A and B are shown apart, each in its own frame.
Chain A
Amino acid sequence: SQKIEQNSEALNIQEGKTATLTCNYTNYSPAYLQWYRQDPGRGPVFLLLIRENEKEKRKERLKVTFDTTLKQSLFHITASQPADSATYLCALDHNAGNMLTFGGGTRLMVKP
């Protein structure tokens, strides 16, 4: 069956360090992969989209990689700040892009 896995344990890092979050998937052939940020009690907010033919995408302090051979995406936040503390979700499309399946999310805590 299709599965998306993110580290369910919280990631605690010191301010200024680089946070790296992992998203692994099985039995999918997604055309693209998305990362969202979710704060407690609020709806997810889109951050980045990377297509299957792209290896890497950057946006300000964010970087996403997508390895379709390993079936893995890595999400990096450089020079992390306490305001980056949130849950980060990866999501994969299927059914010709009409459906989006989310991983369980990884909670990031950046300590000052």
Chain B
Amino acid sequence: EAQVTQNPRYLITVTGKKLTVTCSQNMNHEYMSWYRQDPGLGLRQIYYSMNVEVTDKGDVPEGYKVSRKEKRNFPLILESPSPNQTSLYFCASKGRSYSYEQYFGPGTRLTVT
């Protein structure tokens, strides 16, 4: 089944403790992206990657890092999480960097205390 998977689905952590949220897709997509969703603010793009070793900032990249060493994986790294990064995170992928729909993962609900 074609899908985007994320792990973990739920995470509660403390301020400053480094964490990684993994994202993997099995559709051989070149493009992958991370979003966060907050009430009243909607979905906002954090980082995106057009292909292996190519990443770029979205609208809200502060406090996040990403890497794209393999085509199928695009982990999101929070080096020193803070409470304002408490949010619902979605990973997405699509076939080409230009045009066409994105396929979203199931989401990771992160709480930073």
Question: Which A residues form the contact surface with B (CB < 8 A)?
Answer: 31-32, 34, 41-46, 49, 89, 91, 93, 96-105
- Docked CA distance A101–B45 (Å): 7
The list of the 3 closest CB pairs from A to B, nearest first, reads A43-B104, A46-B101, A97-B98
17 intermolecular pairs with C-beta atoms under 8 Å apart? A32-B99, A34-B101, A42-B107, A43-B4, A43-B90, A43-B105, A43-B106, A45-B104, A46-B102, A49-B99, A96-B97, A96-B98, A99-B45, A99-B58, A99-B59, A100-B45, A100-B102
Most chain B CB atoms below 10 A, which of A49, A91, A102, A105: A102
Given contacts A42-B107, A43-B105, contact A98 B98 (CB under 8 A): yes
Closest to B97 in A: A98
Question: Which B residues form the contact surface with A (CB < 8 A)?
Answer: 4, 31, 33, 35, 40-45, 48, 50, 56, 58-59, 90, 92, 97-107
Total A-B contacts with CB atoms under 8 angstroms apart? 57
A91 / chain B contacts, CB cutoff of 8 Å? 43
A97 near B104 (CB under 8 angstroms)? no
B104 / chain A contacts, CB cutoff of 8 Å? 43-45
B59 / chain A contacts, CB cutoff of 8 Å? 99, 101
